[in-house]
Amino acid sequence: MQEDLPSSKNTSPRRKVENRLNDLAAKDWLKFQKSWFIHNPPRRRKEVLRHPAKFPETLAQEFIQFFTKQGQVVFDPLAGTGSTLIAALRTGRQAYGIELNPRYVQIAKRWIEEEITRLPSDIPLPTVQIFQGDALKAQEILTLHAVPPIDYLLTSPPYWNMLHAPGFETQRKRRISTDQDVVYSDDPADLGNIEDYDVFLDRLCQLFANLKPFLRSKAYLTIIAKNIKKKGRLYPFAWDLAKRLGEIYALKDEKLWLQDNQPLAPYGYGQAWVSNTFHHYCLQFRNE
């Protein structure tokens, strides 16, 4: 795909440039380059409400369309109920994911099967698979299933063990529900169950380091993270992750995901400054 480079009155005539990264037109490429965006997720499907921290497939679709071409391979090592895989399927990309919780794997598989029935019958069907297992053993899983080289990695890891905090987000409502999980799982291998912050960071970074041989040269990674407040202290999770992982992959940029439809709460009213935090960091790395 070739596009004309934008030019000003004082520049030479436009020249043709081959778009090697994606299938977007120049105007859509430029729109995505803004360093922040507002995305208020649509209402979640009833079945995937069981997952306590699903990120929206509508958001994933925008990132996939920018960082890949149709037919390329997308991977999510912490796939949950399959948001990344669904987004890839809708855009004609191949997709693979790993998820520890077998219940979420089954939800993702049913969702994928349902999406496939909605695709036009006259177009090639991309390969989309989710594997049940520990993402820290991704090397074994990807090798066993002969997953092709990965063109793009997109994921949102656990925000440490914050789902165990009694007042975190909508935890109180979820505790009285019989069909909604409060935490990802009770598996000791679950990153969201690690109590020590530094151990959590070490294991998460090791997970991504293990994947380096499976990523194509110059493949991008987008990791969605958020700084964490716990017991009156701010843990700069997104910044710590950027620094540590920047020693393994090239940290290229950040993109802020803003939500402006969340209700405000009077945290610390009359006593201390405590913000309502409605932004996430979409950290961009490249395998160089």
Task: List phi, psi (to 5°) of 221.
Answer: -125, 130
For residues 32 and 120, which has the higher predicted lDDT (pLDDT)?
A: 32
Domain assignment present for residue 122? The answer is yes
- The domain tally of the chain equals 1
Cα–Cα distance between 45 and 51 in angstroms, integer? Answer: 11
Please choose, from the candidates 287, 278, 288, 286, the residue with its C-alpha nearest in 3D space to the C-alpha of residue 39. 278
The residues facing 2 across adjacent strands are: 18
Domain assignment present for residue 25? The answer is no
Residue 44, pLDDT score? 63
Cα–Cα distance between 146 and 148 in angstroms, integer? Answer: 6
Domain assignment present for residue 41? The answer is no
At which residue do the structure tokens 């293990």 appear?
210
Domain assignment present for residue 180? The answer is yes
pTM of this structure: 0.87
Domain assignment present for residue 67? The answer is yes
Please choose, from the candidates 191, 89, 179, 197, the residue with its C-alpha nearest in 3D space to the C-alpha of residue 134. 191
For 68-103, give one letter per residue: b (16+ CB within 10 A) or e.
bbeebbbbbbbbbbbbbbbbbbbbbbbbbbbbbbee
CATH of the domain at 103: 3.40.50.150
* pLDDT tens, residue by residue, 83-106: 999 999 999 999 999 999 999 999
Please choose, from the candidates 54, 6, 50, 60, the residue with its C-alpha nearest in 3D space to the C-alpha of residue 29. 6
Domain assignment present for residue 156? The answer is yes
3-state helix, strand, coil in the chain (%, to 5): 35, 20, 45
| Average pLDDT of the residues in 100-129 | 91
Residue 12, pLDDT score? 58
* pLDDT tens, residue by residue, 168-218: 545 555 455 555 666 667 888 889 899 999 999 999 999 999 999 999 999
Domain assignment present for residue 48? The answer is no
Residue ranges making up the domain that contains 178: 55-286
* pLDDT tens, residue by residue, 216-266: 999 999 999 999 988 889 999 999 999 999 999 999 999 999 988 888 989
Does 149 have pLDDT greater than 70?
A: yes
Domain assignment present for residue 177? The answer is yes
